[in-house]
Amino acid sequence: MMLSLTQSLLNDASLGHRLQQREVSRFTPEDIRVAISELVAQDRMDLADALVAAGLSLYPDSEDILAIAALLAEVHGDWSSADSLLDKILYLQGDKATATVWQHKVRVQRCLCDPAGALKASQMGLRMHPADPTLLSEQQLLQDLLDAAQIFAPSPTQQ
């Protein structure tokens, strides 16, 4: 019986061995995504991060790997990396991008302190998913926020 990727990584880590890319390469992107999820659940963020790096190296266009990498970047508060990874997912998915990916894009833009970018992302997501309640709510909240900011911004004649 073949050891799961998670078991193999934990065994290697307990022996002080480093993650070997050739070891990881025999697993599918889905296997790697599942293993990363299991490692995060076990609070083994060091191994999860290493596996994300290996997965991105082996499968740079895999939606499975990109999605889990973006989620992990969000967990770490690495908003720039999360934004780049989400952009790549959106590019790969094109018109088939899910509402969930757009929701994450909005969240990351908010965390980057870019409400205008977040509003744009919500609007783009709503073009594909016009009834998505989360995107609708985000769009309204962000529009209200930007409208309120305009009220308090000095007009060009007041500067």
Take residue 149 and report the two structure tokens written for it.
Answer: 């900011």
Asked whether residue 44 is assigned to any structural domain, the reply reads yes
Read off the pLDDT of each residue in 17-38 and give the average, rounded to a whole number: 80
Domain assignment of residue 111, yes or no: yes
On whether both 46 and 97 belong to a single domain, the answer is no
Tally of domains in the chain? 2
Distance CA 159, CA 133 (A): 40
113 and 131 both lie in a single domain: yes
Q: Do 70 and 94 share a domain, yes or no?
A: no
Structural domain includes residue 157? no
pLDDT in the model for residue 127: 97
Predicted confidence at residue 13, as pLDDT, reads 60
Residue 28 counted as domain residue:
yes
Among residues 29, 49, 76, the one where a domain terminates is 76
Determine, yes or no, domain membership for 32.
yes
Q: Which ranges in 42-154 belong to alpha helices (H)?
A: 45-58, 63-76, 79-93, 99-111, 115-128, 133-152
Higher pLDDT, 44 or 12: 44
89 and 31 together in one domain: no
Give the global pTM: 0.82
Summarize the confidence of residues 140-148 as an average pLDDT.
Answer: 92
Could you tell me the residue range of the domain that residue 91 belongs to?
82-150
